[in-house]
Amino acid sequence: MIQIRKAVPTDIDGILQIYQKETPSPSPFHIESEQDFFIPSPSYNKNTPSPIQSIEGWWVALDQEYIVGVIGGELIDYINSEIFDLMLHPNRRGEGIGTQLLKTLTEQHIAQGACEQWVSIDKNFGTNAPFCIAQGFEYVPETLEGAKEWGIVYRYKRTIGPMKHP
C-alpha cells in the first residue's frame, strides 16, 4: 500500500535514487548529490535564486519504507503555484502514484490560496505531457527558453481554485 507524506531531510537519499533512475545523464536534472537536490525549476532564470531552499513543499510516496515517487512545488505568488518536479521509480509508473502525489500537492496549494497550478515540461522529456493533460493541465502557447543547457521547455497550467482579485 502506498503512503504519501511530507518529505523529511532523511528522505534525500531515497529521493536521489529516484532522480538518478529517472533522469539520464547528461540531463541538467540528473542529480548526483544532496547538494544538487536544491536546484531551480527550468521555468526560473539561472541567475534567479532557487525557489527551492528546503525540503518544505516536497512530498514522497512510500511503498513500505522505500521511496517510489516524489513531487515538489510551492506558491510562486499569491495566486499561482508551481510544480517543480514529479518523478517516479521507472518500474512504478501506471500505478496511480503520480496522481496521488499530484493530488496531495494540489491540496496543499489550494490550502495556501493558489488558484492556478503551473508546470514546465522539458522538450526532451515530453512523455510527461500526456499525464499533465490527463490531469487537466492545458498547454500555454508560450515556449520558454531556459539556460542553454536546459533547452526548450513547454508551460502547462490548470485552474485549481476560484480566481481572487488583489
* Backbone Cα Rg of the chain: 15
Question: Does pTM surpass 0.85?
Answer: no
| Interval 77-90: pLDDT, tens | 889 999 988 999 98
| pLDDT value of residue 68 | 96
**Do the beta carbons of residue 5 and residue 11 sit within 8 Å?**
no
DSSP lists the bridge partners of residue 145 as 152
Is the pLDDT at 91 greater than 60, yes or no?
yes
Which pLDDT does position 49 carry in this prediction? 38
Its CATH architecture, for the domain 2-159, is 3-Layer(aba) Sandwich (3.40)
Write the pLDDT tens digit of every residue in 35-71: 444 443 444 334 433 333 456 788 999 999 999 999 9
Instruction: State the Cα–Cα distance between residues 89 and 146, nearest whole angstrom.
Output: 26
Grid coordinates belonging to 39: 536546484
* DSSP SS3 for 104: helix
- 107-164 pLDDT per residue, tens: 999 999 999 999 988 777 667 888 999 999 999 986 555 544 556 778 899 999 887 7
Instruction: Answer whether 100's CB lies under 8 Å from 61's CB.
Output: yes
The backbone torsions φ and ψ at residue 140, rounded to the nearest 5 degrees and listed phi first, read -105, 120
* Neighbour count for residue 110 (Cβ, 10 Å): 15
Q: Is the pLDDT of residue 32 over 90?
A: no
